[in-house]
């Protein structure tokens, strides 16, 4: 009887959390349905005007003596539906002599082959849609700069003079205020106006930064290195550890995105990513209720003695600084590999969202830099706190449970959005709404847990 009561409480807890997640999923689905339906109708309308065979359409376009703009799109691409389709409709009305060929690539393998071949011939990679081909030029994505460049080339090809075109500013006289760009130092800059995924990237990176596996290892490492009493030594080891783990994490995310970029059926990939993310989320929420019982995405206990040994090696004061940094690099690389199963969920859903938004090339690198910068902010704050106070607090089980719940709930919400309507994450309002709703559900579950576990007051 005594063991049955905790089991019943655990079962009730599971039902409460699952009900909350289902409620969140239903709400997000209701919000996404009108937008998704509109996108579907618009996508069908855009595809209806294309030629019956992509190869013949492109061949006739390249042989045609007129001016032809080839537009590669996808029914599942919100940028195509919400931005590229209306813009091209206006461009066609403005220039009646311009022949716009719309090619749907998401459901036609022949169109996908044509897409790759046309882009390769022009020195570009077919990494996403929308994509455009005009003469010997090609563009992937849709920004204000791409719009302007295509419009200028169309006018030049048709020998049309713009009504009141302003004089183009020299390249070295770009916007001096920098109001629409975000500098990431050596990682480059991000065009804020042209990156609808920026807010979602920052939010997902921030939540991912509270990953309990990464924070546990960092706090264990700092607690050991603090015994040296040297702030310089702590900064060197901690800074090197963060840089190496972030670099390997960035390579892992870039690899995920590259794999998604090679997929021919984007919608099928989206569904697979969302299902995997829901699996990660379910295990994380399970860890909140039954920590490390059954399947768990935590660092396996068999690796922890090695982590402790590595930390003790790094706190030795008889090593030279180069030797210490070399050992830190090896230690950090091993940790980054061991904790990947614990940290892979958010990179997976983020890569799926970015691929769906048609971001590629420099735009992707800018967003990846933003993700890693925000992700590291939490760990940098912990390192700075240890340097200032010469103290480090280890992550306790209760903290790990709550962080698992928060991460799992947010991941579940984003996975549902990826299934229903990824464009919700392409606006600041939508991104904050989705993540905020998930955090509210997690906060309610944590409040319930604290109330449940609070010791009873004797009367």
Output phi, psi for 449, to 5 deg. Answer: -65, -40
Are 346 and 354 a contacting pair, CB within 8 Å?
Answer: no
pLDDT in tens, the chain (459 residues): 444 444 444 444 444 444 444 444 334 444 433 433 333 333 333 433 444 455 555 555 555 557 899 999 888 777 888 889 999 999 999 998 899 999 988 778 888 888 888 988 888 888 778 899 998 899 988 888 888 889 989 988 887 544 444 444 443 434 433 334 445 445 444 444 445 578 889 999 999 999 888 888 888 888 888 887 888 888 999 999 999 999 999 999 998 888 876 664 566 777 888 898 999 999 999 988 887 788 887 887 788 888 888 888 887 878 888 888 999 999 989 888 888 888 888 998 898 888 777 677 777 888 899 999 999 999 999 999 989 988 877 778 888 889 999 999 999 999 998 888 877 787 778 888 999 999 999 999 999 988 887 765 554
Q: Which long-range contacts (CB under 8 A, 24 or more apart) does 423-431 make?
A: 423/35, 423/39, 423/78, 423/82, 424/28, 424/31, 424/32, 424/35, 425/197, 425/200, 425/353, 426/78, 426/79, 426/196, 426/197, 426/200, 426/357, 427/196, 427/199, 428/199, 431/199, 431/200, 431/203
Output phi, psi for 427, to 5 deg. Answer: -130, 155
Sign for the pseudo-dihedral over CA of 206, 209, 210, 211: positive
Evaluate the omega torsion of the peptide bond into residue 130 and state whether it is cis, within 30 degrees of 0.
Answer: yes
Are 207 and 407 a contacting pair, CB within 8 Å?
Answer: yes
CA torsion, ordered 409, 410, 413, 419, to nearest 10 deg: -120
pTM exceeding 0.75: no
Rounded CA-CA distance 407/42 in Å is 34
Tokens matching residue 225: 């290195």
Structural domains of the chain, with CATH: 8-36+195-452 (no CATH), 49-161 (3.40.30.10)
Tally of CA atoms within 13 A in the half-sphere of 77 that contains its CB = 29
| Residue with token string 């997640």 | 21
| Residue with token string 């009646």 | 96
Return the pLDDT at 289.
86
Output phi, psi for 393, to 5 deg. Answer: -100, 125
60-84 as b/e: b if 16+ CB within 10 A: ebeeeeebbbbbbbbbbbbbbbbbb
Tokens matching residue 74: 């996808």
Cα–Cα distances (Å) from 108 to 113, 173, 420, in that order, read 9, 44, 22
């Amino acid at each position: 009887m005594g063991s049955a009561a905790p089991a019943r409480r655990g079962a009730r807890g599971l039902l409460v959390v699952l009900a909350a997640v289902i409620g969140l999923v239903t709400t997000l689905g209701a919000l996404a349905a009108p937008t998704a339906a509109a996108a579907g109708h618009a996508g069908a309308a855009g595809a209806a005007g294309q030629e019956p065979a992509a190869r013949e359409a492109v061949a006739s376009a390249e042989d045609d003596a007129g001016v032809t703009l080839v537009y590669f799109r996808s029914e599942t691409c919100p940028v195509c539906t919400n931005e590229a389709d209306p813009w091209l409709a206006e461009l066609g009305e403005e220039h009646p002599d311009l022949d716009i060929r719309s090619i749907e690539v998401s459901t036609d393998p022949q169109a996908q082959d044509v897409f790759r071949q046309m882009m390769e011939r022009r020195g570009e990679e077919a990494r996403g849609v929308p994509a455009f081909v005009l003469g010997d030029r090609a563009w992937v994505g849709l920004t204000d700069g791409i719009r302007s460049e295509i419009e200028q080339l169309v006018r030049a090809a048709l020998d049309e003079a713009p009504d009141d075109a302003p004089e183009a500013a020299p390249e070295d006289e770009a916007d001096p205020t920098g109001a629409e760009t975000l500098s990431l130092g050596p990682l480059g800059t991000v065009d804020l106006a042209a990156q609808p995924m920026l807010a979602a990237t920052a939010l997902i990176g921030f939540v991912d930064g509270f990953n309990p596996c990464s924070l546990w290892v960092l706090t264990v490492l700092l607690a050991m290195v603090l015994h040296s009493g040297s702030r310089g030594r702590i900064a060197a080891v901690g800074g090197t550890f963060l840089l190496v783990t972030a670099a390997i994490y960035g390579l892992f995310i870039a690899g995920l995105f590259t794999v998604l970029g090679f997929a021919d059926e984007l919608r099928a990939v989206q569904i697979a990513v969302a299902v995997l993310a829901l699996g990660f989320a379910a295990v994380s929420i399970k860890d909140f209720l039954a920590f490390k019982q059954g399947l768990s995405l935590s660092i396996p206990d068999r690796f922890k003695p090695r982590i402790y040994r590595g930390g003790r090696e790094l706190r030795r004061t008889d090593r030279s600084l180069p030797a210490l940094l070399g050992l830190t690099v090896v230690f950090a690389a091993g940790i980054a590999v061991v904790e990947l199963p614990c940290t892979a969920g958010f990179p997976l859903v983020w890569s799926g969202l970015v691929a769906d938004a048609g971001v590629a090339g420099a735009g992707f690198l800018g967003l990846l830099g933003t993700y890693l910068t925000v992700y590291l902010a939490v760990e940098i704050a912990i390192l700075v706190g240890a340097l200032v106070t010469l103290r480090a607090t280890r992550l306790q089980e209760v903290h790990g449970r709550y962080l698992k719940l928060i991460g799992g709930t947010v991941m579940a919400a984003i996975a549902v959005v990826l299934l229903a309507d990824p464009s919700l994450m392409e606006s600041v309002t939508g991104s904050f709404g989705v993540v905020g709703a998930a955090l509210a559900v997690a906060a309610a579950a944590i409040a319930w847990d604290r109330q449940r576990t609070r010791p009873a007051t004797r009367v």
